[in-house]
Amino acid sequence: MSWMVGSAVMQVQDPVIVVEAASLTLAIVVAITLYAAKTKTDFTVCGPVIFIISLIFLVVSIFVLIFGPRLNFVLTAIGAFFSSFYLIYDTQLILSGTCEGHRKF
């Protein structure tokens, strides 16, 4: 994974773009983690739904790869959205016994 990321980063001409992307990613991950730890909403019951939506996303991504890259930006936005839900779900599973303990699983 580090080899792929390193190769992708080396292709970027302006290093400021890499720093901006890393900073934005850090800010979003910290914000989602804090939200998952402090919210009263239980996302641990959403595991099967998130899995099914991810499978649909995978199939659509394969079709886009085969039939043409017309939906790259849309797929990227949807992928980031679902990755956020996975982060909330996994964080609540990890912290379920340590925070308020109001999670179902």
Residue-level pLDDT, tens digit, the chain, 105 residues: 889 888 888 888 888 888 888 898 899 999 998 998 888 888 888 888 888 888 888 888 888 888 777 777 777 788 888 888 889 888 888 887 665 555 565
Q: What is the pLDDT of residue 2?
A: 87
Asked if the structure places residue 103 within a domain, the reply is no
Helix (H) or strand (E) holding 11: none
Asked if the structure places residue 100 within a domain, the reply is no
Q: What is the pLDDT of residue 105?
A: 55
Domain count for the chain: 1
With 0-12 / 13-18 / 19 or more C-beta atoms within 10 angstroms meaning exposed / middle / buried, residue 69 is: exposed
Asked if the structure places residue 58 within a domain, the reply is yes
Asked if the structure places residue 11 within a domain, the reply is yes
Whole-number average pLDDT of the chain: 82
Q: What is the pLDDT of residue 30?
A: 93
Domain that includes residue 8, residue range: 2-95
